[in-house]
Amino acid sequence: MKKLILVSILVSAQLFAVAGNNNKSKSAKNNKQVKAKKEHKLNYDEFINKYGSDDTSLAVIEIFFDKRENSAKGQMSFLPLSTAIAVVFPPIGVGLMAVSTPLFVNGLIVNQKYNRKKLKNILEEYESTNELPIKLQNKVNDFIEDEQEYERYYEDKLVEYQRVRVQANPTTTGNDVVVQKNN
């Protein structure tokens, strides 16, 4: 029973840590000491609205938030879970901790590498000079190409679906076919 309580405490502490629960803003609101939001503390939508002027800047924002939110936090979540398992099942948990510790460290590095302040600086530099760092430019080019390929693929599938739909209904007239193609 004690182990179950300890595991539930560890898991709930992990959820609060990963979710980024920020009680400072709540206490500031209660004290009416809310300051203007720092520019590098913007969320995804605010970055899109403020800096999303073209496809390249949108791709940079998407890359940074994807790496930070999905990769880093996903990698960092394994260590606390393996610690909780180590408390309940020590032989299995120690092995999991040995595997998840490098993932946790890599998650910290990714989190630092793709932080919002760096994103803000890169976007402001891009707006003024229209240049990106070489590695990031390569990632952006790959991202835009993948996005275009994805759109072409599903556009082709939609056209095939419309053709099958038209061919499957032999009672359609020429006007019906035109209406279905426009939809």
Judged by phi (left if over 0) then psi (alpha if -120 to 50, else beta), residue 32 lies in left
What is the residue-wise DSSP string for 46-59?
A: HHHHHH--SHHHHH
As a whole number of angstroms, the distance between CA 153 and CA 142 comes to 16
As a whole number of angstroms, the distance between CA 65 and CA 69 comes to 6
Q: Among 21-25, 72-76, 106-110, which range has the highest average pLDDT?
A: 106-110
Give residue-wise pLDDT tens across range 114-156.
888 899 999 999 999 988 888 899 999 998 898 888 888 877 7
Contacts of 43 (CB under 8 A, 6+ apart): none
- Quick one: pLDDT band at residue 32, thresholds 50, 70, 90? very low
Query: What pTM, to 2 d.p., does this model score?
Result: 0.60
Helix axes 55-66 and 44-51, enclosed angle (nearest 10): 160
Q: Look at residue 68 in the predicted model and tell me its pLDDT.
A: 83
Whether 56 shows a pLDDT value over 60: the answer reads yes
Task: Find tokens 């609101």 and name the residue.
Answer: 29
